[in-house]
């Protein structure tokens, strides 16, 4: 965890529940399961119990809050399937738009060069 004063102007929370309280957007990230054995990260079930996005945790956010995840996701470790596929999830649109954005960036960087 970064130091308490490492990111000026940012809030630091000790629990996921504190960080979710009242938010408009919940952005989940992918955990690299292959690294569980090499680090102090708890196994999948323990990780989900402590950090996974569940309906109870999402209920702490604003009622209209959206849920995002860049993919690929580890269901049942980072996020519950009912949340990933639920009405607040914009994950599919996020991934679809991400592909278009990356294509546009590559076009801009390549300067329209014919290949």
State the sign of the Cα–Cα–Cα–Cα dihedral 33, 81, 47, 28. Answer: positive
Question: How many angstroms separate the CA atoms of 28 and 23, rounded?
Answer: 13
Question: How many angstroms separate the CA atoms of 12 and 18, rounded?
Answer: 9
Grade residue 11 by pLDDT with cuts at 50, 70 and 90: confident
* Residue of 68, 2, 71 lying closest to 31 (CA atoms): 71
**DSSP per-residue string spanning 29-60:** ----GGGGGGSSPPPHHHHHHHH-B-HHHHTT
Q: What is the tens place of the pLDDT at every residue in 80-107? A: 999 999 999 999 999 999 989 999 999 8
């Amino acid at each position: 965890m970064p130091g308490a004063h490492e990111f000026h102007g940012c809030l630091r929370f000790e629990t996921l529940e504190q960080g979710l309280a009242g938010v408009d957007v919940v952005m989940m990230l992918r955990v690299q399961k292959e690294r569980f054995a090499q680090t102090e990260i708890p196994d999948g079930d323990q990780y989900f119990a402590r950090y996974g996005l569940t309906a109870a945790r999402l209920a702490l956010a604003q009622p209209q809050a959206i849920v995002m995840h860049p993919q690929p996701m580890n269901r049942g470790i980072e996020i519950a399937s009912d949340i990933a596929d639920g009405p607040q999830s914009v994950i599919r649109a996020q991934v679809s738009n991400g592909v278009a954005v990356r294509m546009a960036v590559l076009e801009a960087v390549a300067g329209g060069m014919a290949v």
